[in-house]
A and B are shown apart, each in its own frame.
Chain A
Amino acid sequence: MSLLLSEFTVNAGRLRLLDIPSLSLPSTGLVGVIGPNGAGKSTLLKALAGIIPHAGRKTLDCTWPDPTRIAYLPQDFAVSAAMSVAECVLLGRRERLGWRITAHDRAEVGRVLSLLDLTHLAEARMDRLSGGQQQRVLLAQRLLRDPRLMILDEPTSALDLHHQLEVLSRLKALSTDILVIAALHDLTLAGRFADHLVLIEHGMLKAADNPEAVLNGDMLDPVYAIRCEVFRDRARNPVVVAHSPCDPCPKSPIR
């Protein structure tokens, strides 16, 4: 039981943006997608979410979830509408909403708001929230879809340190039952929370493995054009520190 991609390609005109001959991921868990700017992370996520067309096959447990059970959070999320946070979250059930808002709808909105610690903002207007608060509201909106597959394009890009940890912990807890695929820029956070890392370079799959196998100099240095040191924090999680490749090499890298 797993997520399988085969001959998975995305083209823009004659340009091939993404080419993944085959990829196999577990059917639950938190998968981090990493890679430098323009490598094709967002393209992969959009194609998985069905926002852009692709060739090849994608299956999750031998089928593909109904669009109503896929929760995709795009990278450009800014909301300028003057609606309340609760109204905005409610739109996560867009397809299932009737003319009247039912007790079930309300209960669900209340549940996800408290899950992401947003209850106190329920009445606040979306266009007056900070970028980070908006990002958490939109994540709550996606959770309202009761997703089988979550596809998140940098879900922590606007969050402060506390909320980065909180959101990723929630996603990690959710991922015992569902598959969460998230593009992440912070390699240390990726190493700490992801069960699996997918490294993409120039639209090609460079590696798909556990964080231990991906987060090391041999893998990262050529892809990111850096020279990295990988330390261990007190929980033995990897901490990635990047140096410019032009910097003089430290005499004795602490490993």
Chain B
Amino acid sequence: MTLAVDQVPGLDRADLTRMGAVCAALLLLAALMVADLVTGPAGLPLSQVVDGLREGPSGADRRLATILWYLRMPQTLMAALVGFALGVCGLMMQTILNNPLASPFTLGFSAAAGFGAALVILFGTALPVALWIGVPLAAFLSTLTAAALVYLVAHYRGASHEMLVLAGIAVLFLFQSLQSLLQFMAAPEVLQQIVFWLFGSLLKATWTSVQVLAALLVLTLPLILREVWNLTALRLGDGNAASLGLNVEAMRRRVLVLVALLTAGAVSFTGTIGFVGLIAPHVARALVGEDHRFGLPMAGIMGAVVLVAASVTGKLISPGAVIPVGIITALAGIPMLLGVILMKGRT
């Protein structure tokens, strides 16, 4: 009976195909990022873009270097980073809340970010900091405040997924009403600024925002990777996971903090880009299954793919005035989500 088996069907073969899927997704992302660099109002051909990339930011052709390295590159990288962060956060949220409808925004984080940004856009002139620092900073801090509220409830009333969702919905409505109040108070020109921020746009991306979000990812990824097996175990249900020695509630709270940090970083610079965090985890699960060793990278890459693709599409539709990427992702995300749901129903 003690048969030593080197190959267990259902473990090895699956691992290889999943690795292949992750690599294929990475290639797709790379191709889309190149496409994003090539498209834009200035209409640079691919050969020029390659030259510009080779010459670096201090290249001889100043016009090319400026467009490529200071306008397009930050936007492309920001799209990939924001998409990656929201995809990873989306999968973690769906796992800890055991809910396929969950996304990084389920617990009211987006509404909080919007409130923070609106607050500074409205009263920012009275602040000692510049608007371009003040707005993302306020969005970041107000997202963390929302997370802290949910965390407090989870701490005192237990971190069951029902409790987290309830607390999150309360926080969502709180910040939404506060945000509406600010919009009501704002003058028409300011209101326009607030609404434009809420659309979610990559035009706000700068090298600073890329660096901040990249740093947040570098900080949180090791901590996220430590939870990989715990997250997979949680897919067996709370009771089974707890019986395998996992402190389910403590883990939920740890993941909540990580999601809050990453989501805050992602939305504070670009505004609330919806749907990426909802759709990417579904695509990832459909492609690589429940094993979070592959699911988390795949959700991240798929998030980046969706957002970069949306950015390319936005530029192609209206080359002159770029449509905010938040609008495109929502429009493109709905058919994708429906597609995933329909495919799931068939299997």
Contact = CB atoms under 8 A, between A and B. Distances in A.
B11 A77 contact: no
A106 B1 contact: no
* Contact-residue bracket for chain B: 35 or more
B293 interface: yes
B4 A107 contact: yes
Interface string A48-78: 0101000000000000000110101110111
Interface in A71-107: 72-74, 76-88, 90-92, 94-95, 97, 99, 101, 103, 106-107
Contacts of A78: 237
Contact of B243 (A73, A81, A95): A73
B220 to A, nearest CB: 17
Interface stretch (A18-26, A110-118, A158-166, A203-211): A110-118
A6 B153 CA distance: 36
Contacts of B7: 106
B246 interface: yes
Given A51-B242, A82-B289, A87-B291, A97 B11 contact: no
A138 interface: yes
Contacts of B289: 82-84, 87
A99 B293 contact: yes
Interface centre among A76, A94, A99, A109 (most CB of B within 10 A): A94
A232 to B, nearest CB: 32
B346 to A, nearest CB: 14
A74 B240 contact: yes
B8 interface: yes
Contact of B6 (A86, A103, A141): A103
A135 B12 CA distance: 24
Interface centre among A81, A88, A95, A97 (most CB of B within 10 A): A81
A123 interface: yes
Contact of B237 (A79, A110, A111): A79
8 tightest A-B CB contacts, nearest first: A110-B5, A86-B10, A84-B10, A81-B235, A123-B10, A83-B290, A122-B10, A72-B243
Interface of B: 1-12, 14-15, 225, 228-230, 232-233, 235-237, 239-240, 242-246, 285, 289-291, 293
